Structure 1
Amino acid sequence: MSEHSYDVVVIGAGPVGENAAGYAVDAGLSAALVEAELLGGECSYWACIPSKALLRTPQAVADARRLPGVTAEFDVQQVLDRRTSFTSGWDDSGQVAWAEGAGAAVLRGRGRLAGEKRVVVTADDGTETVVTANRAVVVATGSVPVVPPVEGLDTVEYWGSREATSATEVSARLGVLGGGVVGCEMALAHARLGARVTLLHHGDRVLPSAEPQASERVADGLREAGVDLRLSTGVDRVSRSGDATLLHLGEETVEVDRLLVATGRRPATDGLDLASVGVTTGRRGEIVVDESGLAAGDWLYAVGDVNGRAPLTHQGKYQARIAAHAIAARAAGRALQDGAWGEDAATADHRAVTQVVFTDPEVAWVGLTTAAARRAGRDVRVVDIDIAVAGSSLTADGWSGRVVAVVDPEREVLLGATFVGPGVAELLHAATVAVVGEVPLARLWHAVPAFPTISEVWLRVLESYRA
């Protein structure tokens, strides 16, 4: 058994872990990345990147067709090939070269805790390496799919998000369980690539954490794309008949060639041996952390999906920056800047989480939704209007969108904003700056939107609030 030591040992080398190691090295600390699969993690190979690659070309064609005089088509195989190019053919040698070039050591194998500041790395061949962290261990193991308790599901082959984004051919009939982000995006992608898609969701609306107006428009968009959307519908059981999978819905049976189970994810803490360092997880299985990402003692941190705070790649990378800065500060004996919006506090996880759903229409939001604000006991005013400005009319015939702005009327600052419409993801960062900066609405009057752009909707929001 060999032994090594580094200032910082990061378990999990997805984008979040890579960020933690990279910022630690930038701060003058030595760092090692421990990874059992591909460096770059879920986001690079099976989630954010390949899913958006599958969606992008069909979306560009759909957008083009909304302009008069344009005829456009796409080649399905070229879409699949472009997706594969973004994953480098599921080869992580480029990511390894980046990590080593950035000064981080790469240790292949599955990491588990073995006492304070000690990690055991078990390689595929069973060889074990003990790694000691002089300063900190950072857990960045992400999340894993949740499998619903559906009778017969364990007797059939089914897809998770990995199989849906890495498919090398399009199934004729695809069933999707779950109307969250993955379910909606993959239903749209595969429908546009030629599959006949049936999406089953037990709730009464897709994207249940979004504003209801957004959910309704996404549902309409899925139906327009040819998805057979079944809301308030559960699966009683699943069975196999020849090459087909049968979904039993009461008296009805739906036959599909492939079944995608997209019913959520949970923090990936299995096999970490957290008990060896006295750490227990929260009610959702998450590692509970403070604002700097610290989970236990002065040395164990958890960032990204595994801590359950804001399970999104960009929020995890944000947490990793904060944790690496805090590790470096504590190593140097410096006081943390952990007040509101301080460098060592993940305040955005509470106030300004951003998210985009790349459906058609897109949904983009930051901060609090109306329901979340009211659950928190906030007294709010809501501006809920159509996005109908010169810029949207010029973008496409029949362009339709909506904005919901949640305002604190006492301070007259924006607490949250949701946009739904074609291409609205690019509107989001302006709203994020307004929420994070707590920019008074009176000052936003002087942020003049250019004409003719869709951003003119900001002026309509302010006018509606004052009306």
Structure 2
Amino acid sequence: MSQHEQQPLDFDVVVVGAGPVGENVADRAHKAGLTVAIVEKHLVGGECSFYACSPSKALLRPIHATRASQRVQGSEGARLDPQGVLARRDAWINRLDDSGQVGWLDHVGITLLRGEGVLTGPRALEVDGRPVTARHAVVLATGTTPTVPPVPGLREAKPWTNREATTSRRIPDRLAVLGGGVVACELAQVYAALGSTVTVVEQAPGLLGRNEEFAGTAVKEALERDGVDVRVGTAAESVSRLGPTGEVTVHLEGGGTVVADELLVAVGRTPATKGLGVESVSGRLTDAGYVSVNARMEVEGVEGDRPWLYAVGDVNGIALLTHMGKYQARACGDLVGARAAGREPDADRTTPWADDLGAPQVVFTDPEVAAAGLTEAEAREHGLRIRVVDLPMDSAAGSGLQAEGYQGQARIVVDEDAGVLVGATFVGQDVAELVHAATVAIVGKVPLATLWHAVPSYPTMSEIWLRLLEEYGL
């Protein structure tokens, strides 16, 4: 019997992609009593676990802890150990061994299919040529891959992406970074702290362009204090490399060069939809190549008597953040489970409507940038009548206890007609834990008059909430 004549493997649900998003939707569907297979061609745990969120934060945390100690009188003696930092990173990614995640799948009863999944028809796939069918649903959770732009010579220079930068066991003497977003800023700070001479090249006029402008300014100043050469408003015209592993030269538009031992490209992400077969079942892709979905994560354009194809996480392009993808996955898994059981789905539980409110996010640089909801510019683009309130973070008594000479800024964006918060941004040491309160207020549409009664504990940095509301006039 040839490979294509094999009897198909049959499951209730097949999930393509075993990153955190795929794992979440598979787990949710399995808990609904369905048989589930998950398809993965690389590591179970995906980009976030091995090449992005986990290793980058494992690298950054010792830097944060050391600097936090140095900023408190009486404990200024902390020093960074580069090899210890790398060892901690290795432990967090289990040295690129996914046996722990595979063991979890086995334990809960989800079947792992190793290989590349391709849609071949309604509720049908092939995994490395082996036919697989799904009685109820196929869920796409293939995520994204690093974008390498078509700069002459760039691909030939074999640059680092986030994968190489978060897993390297070598600290280059000189590192050039193309890009000015989250990955570029975080990893530039990591390598500068570990001993590299770092140059950042960003064609936009500032860093962290999707955040409030003051956040990008604060991170740029911090990188420069770390010795990073930050060049904004500058683009790479071409790239060349001496031999397979020699030095890399980035030729800049308008003249000038940056010479480094390694080049990190961190200019965005590309949806992992090539060869997935979405169009073969009439599914739609956006102009940027993301899978087009409706509010319930159903792939648009797919024909059939009932929905069966879904896409969650980065692959649909709604919010390229692991936590938002997992949120979509939980809703999708519950939806698939309800439909399979013949129940009317709970609309509130199976529609991830908070996507439209602005995703919470933390940039784990020093200072941290924590934001939720809309920026001032986005709120104005939405046509809202807003008021913006800004305060220095040292308005909260707790900030001075956190660090001597604490530096930072807070902003809230208020919808004046609704009397609710629609955006918040905090910049400073240890502000990451402030963002969830903002998220709750925004998603819950908590009136500011009610929020005033949410009394912050003294003396904590959360007191900034009280000061912001007082500045607003409450």
Structure 1 position 304, deviation (Å): 0.3
Paired AA for residue 236 in structure 1: E
Instruction: Give 2:267's match in structure 1, choosing from 251, 263, 266.
Output: 263
Q: How large is the RMSD of aligned CA atoms in angstroms?
A: 1.1
Deviates more, 1:451-460 or 1:238-247: 238-247
Question: 2:373 is matched with which residue?
Answer: 367
Question: 2:218 is matched with which residue?
Answer: 217
Structure 1 position 96, deviation (Å): 0.4
Paired AA for residue 337 in structure 1: D
Paired AA for residue 404 in structure 1: R
TM-score, L = length of structure 2: 0.95
Instruction: Give 1:436's match in structure 2, choosing from 436, 443, 458.
Output: 443
Structure 1 position 66, deviation (Å): 1.0
Instruction: Give 2:364's match in structure 1, choosing from 358, 363, 371.
Output: 358
| In structure 2, distance between residues paired with 1:231 and 1:154 | 22
Question: 2:317 is matched with which residue?
Answer: 308
Deviates more, 1:343-352 or 1:85-94: 343-352
Deviation digits for residues 404-442 of structure 1, max 9, x if unmatched? 111111121111111111110000111111111111111
Instruction: Give 1:38's match in structure 2, choosing from 33, 38, 43.
Output: 43
| In structure 2, distance between residues paired with 1:404 and 1:283 | 34
- Asked if 1 retains the 8 angstrom alpha-carbon contact of 2:40 and 2:116, the reply is yes
Structure 1 position 334, deviation (Å): 2.1
Alignment map for 1:110-121 (pairs within 5 Å): 110-121=116-127
* Uncovered stretches (5+) of structure 1, i.e. residues with no partner: 123-127
| In structure 1, distance between residues paired with 2:411 and 2:24 | 33
Question: 2:53 is matched with which residue?
Answer: 48
Question: 1:183 is matched with which residue?
Answer: 184
| In structure 2, distance between residues paired with 1:44 and 1:368 | 28
Question: 2:429 is matched with which residue?
Answer: 422
| In structure 2, distance between residues paired with 1:241 and 1:331 | 58
* Uncovered stretches (5+) of structure 2, i.e. residues with no partner: none
Number of matched residues?
459
| In structure 2, distance between residues paired with 1:461 and 1:155 | 51
Q: Secondary structure at the residue paired with 1:215?
A: helix
- Asked if 2 retains the 8 angstrom alpha-carbon contact of 1:291 and 1:344, the reply is no
| In structure 2, distance between residues paired with 1:262 and 1:383 | 32
Matched, 1:66 2:71: yes
Instruction: Give 1:462's match in structure 2, choosing from 446, 466, 469.
Output: 469
Paired AA for residue 84 in structure 2: Q
Alignment map for 1:87-106 (pairs within 5 Å): 87-106=93-112
Matched, 1:399 2:418: no
Instruction: Give 2:256's match in structure 1, choosing from 245, 252, 272.
Output: 252
- Asked if 2 retains the 8 angstrom alpha-carbon contact of 1:352 and 1:436, the reply is no
Question: 2:203 is matched with which residue?
Answer: 202
Deviates more, 1:350-359 or 1:174-183: 350-359
Question: 1:333 is matched with which residue?
Answer: 342
| In structure 1, distance between residues paired with 2:264 and 2:408 | 29
Q: Secondary structure at the residue paired with 2:122?
A: coil
| In structure 2, distance between residues paired with 1:129 and 1:119 | 8
- Asked if 1 retains the 8 angstrom alpha-carbon contact of 2:236 and 2:250, the reply is yes
- Asked if 2 retains the 8 angstrom alpha-carbon contact of 1:34 and 1:111, the reply is yes
Structure 1 position 352, deviation (Å): 4.2
| In structure 1, distance between residues paired with 2:93 and 2:241 | 32
Deviation digits for residues 44-95 of structure 1, max 9, x if unmatched? 0000000001111112111111122311112111110110111111001110
Question: 1:4 is matched with which residue?
Answer: 9
Matched, 1:447 2:454: yes
- Asked if 1 retains the 8 angstrom alpha-carbon contact of 2:272 and 2:315, the reply is yes
Question: 1:125 is matched with which residue?
Answer: none
Q: Secondary structure at the residue paired with 1:114?
A: strand
Structure 1 position 121, deviation (Å): 0.1
